[in-house]
Each structure stands twice: as structure tokens, then as C-alpha cells.
Amino acid sequence: MTKQVFQLIKNEVRRQKETLMMIPSENYASRAVLKALGSAFQNKYAEGYPGRRYYQGQKFVDEVENLTIKLAKRLFGVPRVNVQAYSGSPANAAVYFALLDPGDKIMGPGLLSGGHLTHGHPKITFSGKYFNSVQYQVGEDGLFDYEKIERQALKERPKIIIAGTTSYSRTLDFAYFGKIADRVGAYLMADIAHIVALVIAGVHPSPVPYADVITTTTHKSLRGPRGAMILTTRKGLLKDRDLAKKINRAVFPGLQGGPHENNIAAIAVALEEAGQKDFKQYARQIVNNASCLSGELANLGFSLVSGGTDNHLMVIDLRNKNIDGKRAALLLEEAGIIVNANSIPHDPRPPLVPSGIRLGTPALTTRGMKEEQMVQIARWIGAVISGQTNPGKIKQKVEELTKKFPAPGLG
């Protein structure tokens, strides 16, 4: 069985090397990140926080967790950080658990408008079941209308407003969200899981001056292990000086047991990598690549939700191509181009067979691809979706291209 598992790992490494990973939330972690992730810290239980643990043997665990917190504080310019949340959904859950009582009102972006399930999606998620969730949506143009969101917030008076998305391709106006939250006396939680690298590099405005709490995953554009961080800002502490304490208590013992210290060590490695000069260049190139890819796709007659992109991703509305998102994603997979089927705003089709696909450039950028490759990839996408070229033929070309751009971390 173990042999079988290692064979499957080998197969997955090969798949990741030979395909174009264009799911915008995926990336390649470095060798150093993977090494920390597979380290002896994985064997250690460490309930509690540095200096206040419930088990013995914490000397190095405490040091590594403190180091991770220090690096995060410096990188984001925030006074308090929790690095224990297991991933993005538990991080968001911890913020709600810290700041809300069951039944309190939350206001976040709808799923079809680019929001996440944890942003208050009704009925089937904890965030929509245990809280009174109202959601704001994009308009027909695929854009958030901030004045409309403000009117809705003034009417609804939520206790927390969530600003963050997983499939919105435009710049988020965190300053405006901050103004809205201040007007209604709500907490502002920014979820920057997707755009975190862009925020670090200054390619997307930072929510730090405007939000009270910021959540982010660490494995998307940041290129760390699968984990999360919860940042408490100066603004948040001015509003409620116990805010960071409440968040720590919500993570442990509120929602979680032992933190995954191997993950936390790997987050430290990723944060140090994100503090290097070339990380800024990487983040800028992500945006340049996305802009080039979307421009080329538009030239090929694809309709992009909101007309284009300012960040790392784009959603293609395929209704004018007579193909649904699932079929398109399957055909592209045959060609070695990995994307995900995605709902478009106000999608008439069901989520498993939606009208669109979502694609992004972080992983390709990590491999060193630039505009020249984006133009080529857009043409391959066009040829596959229009049925002009057999996906198998494109797959050969994709494999040739991927050989020229080795995936870091995979050896």
C-alpha cells in the first residue's frame, strides 16, 4: 500500500509538471517550504500559544511559532497575528466565533458574485446557517456598486462586513468598505486569500488601514503550505483592544485543538520568501500575465465577466460559445490545461455545470512564464473550446512548453 501511495505521489508530481496549472488558487510551493512541511514539527502536539502551552517539550515549537508571527507582523505591518488556523474556512469561522453571537447579522459577497461559501452563503454553510446572513451582489456589469452596498449596509446594519472574493477579477475598494463599516458601526473583515501576494507587493491596495481583521490562506498566491493567518490591525485594536485576544481564544480552544506546527514552520519559510525583492517582481508579473491573457482571450471573441481583470484571475462567460463550463474544463484538461468550471454572476445554470470557467496566472508565473507564453496559451484555449483542434494535439505542445519552465519545488 505504501508503495502504491508513493507511486501516486510520483504520478501527481508528473501531472503538475506536465500541465498548465491555471486554477487561480493553486501554486507551486518551494523546496524549502515542502521541507519544513515534512519536518519533525509534524510530530508535536502544542495546544495553547507560545509560552502558554498545555504539553511539555515546546522550546522549539514556541520559537518557530514566534518567528512566524514576527515575520507576518513585519510583512503586513500589523500589531497582532494568529498563525494557527488550519486553513481559510476555519480562519473565517474563527473571526465570526470571536466577534459574533449565533443569529447576529453578517454581510458578505454572494457566491455568484465572487464570494466564498464562508462569506455567509445561505442554508448550507455554517456562515449562513448560524448567522443571519445578508449578501451583496455584483450588478449586470459584473462589478460591485459600492454606493448600493452602502445603502444595503445602512438598511441591514450587519455586525460584520466581509470584503473579499475568490472569483472577482477587479480591484477591491477596501477604503470604501472601511467607510461603510464605520458608518454602520460594523467590524470590517477583509479576506485576502486570493490576492495576498498582490497586497504584499503593493500591486493591489492593502486593506490594513481600513479593516479590523484580515484573513488569508497561505498556499495560494503566497506559495506557502496549506494554512491560514488572521491579522488584527491597529484600527481593529483601537475599536476593541481585546480583539486579538478574542481571535486567539476563538481559534484555540474555541474551534481547534493542536496547531499544525510543521505548517506554521513552512508558513515562516514562505513569509521570508515573500519578503525578498523577487517576490514583488513575481506579483507584478502575475498581474501582467493575467492582463495579457485576458486581452488575448477577448481578441479571440471570449466574453470576460466585468470585461477583463485587474488582478490574477478572470472568469470567462461561455454562453456565446455554445459550451458549458464543465464541458470546457474537461476538454481543456484533455489538452493539459487545468482550469475550473465556475458560475458567472446571475448564472442560469447549476453550480456543477455552470456557464463559465475561471483561470488565473499565479502558478504559471511561478514557473517563469511571461506574456509571450500567455498569448500562446490563450490561442490554445481558443482552439480547444472552439473545437478547431484536437485537445490531444495541444497536449503535446503544452508538454513541450512545460519542459522549458520547470516547476519549482518538484525537482
Q: Which of 95, 186 has the CB closer to ligand DSN? A: 95
Q: Which of 186, 189 has the CB closer to ligand DSN? A: 189
Q: Which of 345, 382 has the CB closer to ligand DSN? A: 345
Long-range contact set of residues 171-175: C-beta below 8 Å, sequence gap at least 24 = 171/204, 171/205, 171/310, 171/311, 172/144, 172/204, 172/205, 172/207, 173/144, 173/146, 173/205, 174/205, 174/206, 174/207, 174/209, 174/210, 174/211, 175/205, 175/209, 175/210
Q: Nearest distance from residue 245's CB to ligand DSN, in Å? A: 27
Is 273 among the catalytic positions?
no
Is 182 among the catalytic positions?
no
Q: Nearest distance from residue 166's CB to ligand DSN, in Å? A: 4
Which of 35, 53, 73, 226 is catalytic? The answer is 226
Which of 125, 165, 215, 217 is catalytic? The answer is 217
Q: Which of 354, 382 has the CB closer to ligand DSN? A: 354
Interface residues with ligand DSN (CB under 6 A)? Answer: 25, 88, 116, 166
Q: Which of 88, 128 has the CB closer to ligand DSN? A: 88
Q: Nearest distance from residue 386's CB to ligand DSN, in Å? A: 26
Sheet holding 80-82, edge to edge: 80-82, 228-232, 213-217, 187-191, 160-164, 105-109, 132-136
Q: Look up residue 342 and give its three cell numbers.
A: 465556475
Q: Nearest distance from residue 22's CB to ligand DSN, in Å? A: 12
Q: Nearest distance from residue 350's CB to ligand DSN, in Å? A: 18
Is 226 among the catalytic positions?
yes
Is 55 among the catalytic positions?
no
Measured between alpha carbons, how far is 94 from 90 in angstroms, rounded to an integer?
6
CB atoms within 10 A of CB 284: 16
Question: Shortest CA distance to 117 belongs to which of 351, 309, 330?
Answer: 351
Is 49 among the catalytic positions?
no
Q: Nearest distance from residue 87's CB to ligand DSN, in Å? A: 8
Q: Which of 88, 90 has the CB closer to ligand DSN? A: 88
Q: Nearest distance from residue 294's CB to ligand DSN, in Å? A: 18
Cis peptide before 408 (omega within 30 of 0): no
Q: Which residue is nearest to ligand DSN (CB)?
A: 25
**Torsion-angle region of residue 157: left (phi > 0), alpha (psi -120 to 50) or beta?**
left
Q: Which of 88, 108 has the CB closer to ligand DSN? A: 88
Which of 26, 35, 44, 45 is catalytic? The answer is 45
Query: 7 exposed, middle or buried (CB, 10 Å; 0-12, 13-18, 19+)?
Result: exposed
Q: Nearest distance from residue 359's CB to ligand DSN, in Å? A: 11
Which of 19, 49, 191, 310 is catalytic? The answer is 191
CB-based contact 243:230 (threshold 8 Å) = no
Is 155 among the catalytic positions?
no
Q: Which of 88, 110 has the CB closer to ligand DSN? A: 88
Positions marked active-site: 45, 47, 191, 217, 220, 226
